[in-house]
Chain A
Amino acid sequence: GAVVSQHPSWVICKSGTSVKIECRSLDFQATTMFWYRQFPKQSLMLMATSNEGSKATYEQGVEKDKFLINHASLTLSTLTVTSAHPEDSSFYICSARDPQGSGTQYFGPGTRLLVL
Chain B
Amino acid sequence: QKEVEQDPGPLSVPEGAIVSLNCTYSNSAFQYFMWYRQYSRKGPELLMYTYSSGNKEDGRFTAQVDKSSKYISLFIRDSQPSDSATYLCAMRGTNAGKSTFGDGTTLTVKP
Size range of the chain B interface in the assembly: 20 to 34
Mask of A1-22 contacts with B, CB within 8 angstroms, 1/0: 1001010000000000000000
Whether B41 and A110, one on each chain, are in contact in the complex, defined by CB atoms closer than 8 angstroms, is yes
Whether B88 and A102, one on each chain, are in contact in the complex, defined by CB atoms closer than 8 angstroms, is no
Interface residues of A in 62-112 (CB under 8 A from B): 91, 93, 95, 97, 99, 102-110, 112
Please, how many angstroms separate the alpha-carbon atoms of A46 and B44 in the complex?
A: 14
Contact partners of A34 in chain B: CB under 8 A: 98
Q: Does A49 make an interface contact (CB < 8 A)?
A: yes
Contact partners of B102 in chain A: CB under 8 A: 43
B12: min CB distance to chain A, Å? 16
Contact partners of A6 in chain B: CB under 8 A: 43
Query: Which of B34, B43, B44, B104 counts the most A-chain CB atoms under 10 A from its CB?
Result: B43
Contact partners of B98 in chain A: CB under 8 A: 34, 46, 49
Interface residues of A in 26-53 (CB under 8 A from B): 32, 34, 41-44, 46, 49
Please, how many angstroms separate the alpha-carbon atoms of A91 and B42 in the complex?
A: 9
Whether B101 and A103, one on each chain, are in contact in the complex, defined by CB atoms closer than 8 angstroms, is no
B90's nearest neighbour on chain A, judged by CB, is A105
The 4 closest A-B pairs by CB, nearest first: A107-B43, A43-B103, A103-B95, A110-B43
List 11 extra interface pairs beyond A43-B101, A103-B96, A107-B46, CB under 8 A: A43-B88, A91-B41, A93-B44, A95-B43, A104-B34, A104-B46, A105-B99, A107-B43, A107-B44, A108-B43, A109-B42
Give 14 CB contacts A-B under 8 Å: A1-B46, A32-B96, A34-B98, A43-B88, A44-B101, A91-B41, A93-B44, A97-B96, A103-B96, A104-B34, A104-B49, A106-B46, A107-B36, A110-B41
